[in-house]
Amino acid sequence: MIPVDRKSRSRASPVFPALSSHFSYFSHFSQLSHLTLLALLLATAAPPAPAAPPLPLAGELRGALKIAGDTTLPWQVTLVPLPPPAAGGGSGGYAVTATLRNDRSTGEDTLEVIVTGTLDASLRSGAWRVASARVDLGAWWPVIRAQSGLGATLADWSAQGSATLAGEGVWQDGRPQGRVTLRVENARFFNLADAIEIDGVTLDVTCEDLQAFALPPGQRLAAARITAAGAEAKDAVIEFGMTADRTVRVTRAEVAALGGSVRVAPFAVDLASAQPRVSLSAEVGQVSLADLARLVPEALRDAQGRLGGNVGLTWSASEGVRVTTGGLRVERETPAMLRMAAQPGFFTGNLPARFELLRFLGKSFSVDNPAWATLRSVEMGDLALQVESLDVTLMPDGPDGVRTAEVAIRAYPANRQAVKVITFRINVAGPLARVLGFGLDSRVSMKAAAAD
């Protein structure tokens, strides 16, 4: 039972079925004269006479809604009798105003919901409209986080911005029907612990089933910019719907990242499950090697070209997004080039600079290794390589729980007289979810395979 302020007042006490499921209240009866009581008794005792019209109900009801521990929201409902209809008698019904606001004793205005409407004499049918509804996401984020059931997952996240609610409809036999739209515009969410920031967030959700709260396809969530660990993604869009059994069906999910795009195939996730989990398949196209090179400065100084392919992912409430398997390849339509970061000895560590041919009379005779100078220039980043093929293989967790991305490269220097082809591999160790989440782990190892 929601507590009610004892200052509540009413001039009558009929039952209020339309609101009885949400609160209960006590009211004081005004004193009636003996003449009024006698008239009422006579009216109800005379069988031929029509039933007496209901007594007018007017006044205010007040209380406090408790949510998320000690958080309370004061509410108030005001009823005003309407004039009877011009034709015929009887009651004209009631005008109703319901208000929910935050405690403003501190002067802060962070939440307000005002719903107006009318009810007929039975108090079970009428019309309603959301006159005003706004919540400050920053002020109420701890409560939203706790009420969502994702408190642990969102523990390091904060929010800025506001959300509004609009809608209208009717009451039919005590049940609301109509349309409600929730909008979030230009909000910001950030995680300082992981250096993740999501800006320009907009959400547009419309519900036309106020009994089951199902959402038709076409609901939209978007973000203008996402930054993490120095990388940036733009124009993220998710379109979805939700069934009455809390199954969310995503029909579109895409984002522009690393100079290219990532598109996720349609999928569904059961939010009613105790441990919701979903497998995803993403198509990666036109990803810029130059942008990737900036994420692995230990391995590459510069690069040009484009990558494309497919990536498998999983999502769960406990683990978030994780990369499983997949692969990317250089797109042959765009010439690819790379210049290594300085790695002294990467190619030449086990390669002699000169070949000793023979010893004669205590003297040795040797000749220069024609490939050594070229490979030295490549490993020091002085000479760029033209890429013939570049394959990125994504691997799932190993026994130690560490993911690995292996980059196999086949390339050649501009001058192919001394060295025709160089093949080598770059192993990226660390959480691969951060690799595709625009935050490559800093642990990068490289090894040479062969040089012809």
- For residue range 168-198, what is the model confidence (pLDDT) as tens digits? 999 888 888 999 999 999 999 999 888 899 9
**Per-residue pLDDT at 138:** 92
Q: pLDDT at position 135, please? A: 94
Share of the chain above pLDDT 70, in %: 75
- Is the confidence at residue 317, as pLDDT, over 80? no
Examine the pLDDT at 248 and tell me if it is beyond 70: yes
Specify whether the CB–CB gap between 92 and 85 falls below 8 A.
yes
Q: Which amino acid is at 329?
A: R
**399 or 284, higher pLDDT:** 284
Q: How many Cα atoms occupy the beta-carbon half-sphere of 120 within 13 Å?
A: 11
d(CA 157, CA 308): 32
Mean pLDDT, the chain, as a whole number? 77
Whether 312 shows a pLDDT value over 60: the answer reads yes
Give φ, ψ of 159 to 5 degrees.
-140, 155
The average pLDDT across 241-260 equals: 94
Confidence of residue 452 (pLDDT cuts 50, 70, 90): low
Instruction: Say whether pLDDT at 115 is over 70.
Output: yes
pLDDT in tens, 354-382: 777 666 555 666 777 778 888 888 889 89
8: confidence class by pLDDT, cuts 50, 70, 90: very low
387 CB neighbour count, 10 Å cutoff: 20
256: left (phi over 0), alpha (psi -120 to 50) or beta: beta
H-state helical runs in 234-356: 289-295
- Binned at pLDDT 50, 70 and 90, residue 88 comes out as low
CA distance 112 to 251: 33
* pLDDT score of 256 more than 50: yes
18-27, 35-44, 49-58 — most confident range: 49-58
- Per-residue pLDDT at 24 exceeds 80: no
> What are the DSSP calls for 351-374, one per residue?
S-SEEEEEEETTEEEEEE-TTHHH
Higher pLDDT, 380 or 333: 380
Most distant pair of Cα atoms in the chain: their distance: 144
Taking residues 305-311, what's their average pLDDT?
89
In sequence order, which residues have a C-beta less than 8 Å from that of residue 94 and are 6 or more positions away?
A: 57, 79, 80, 81, 82, 118, 119, 123
310 within 8 A of 325, measured Cβ to Cβ: no
Question: How far is CA 399 from each of CA 320, 343, 395, 403, rounded to the nearest angstrom?
Answer: 20, 30, 12, 10
Band of pLDDT at residue 95, cut at 50, 70 and 90: very high
pLDDT of residue 6 exceeding 50, the answer is: no
Full-prediction pTM beyond 0.75? no
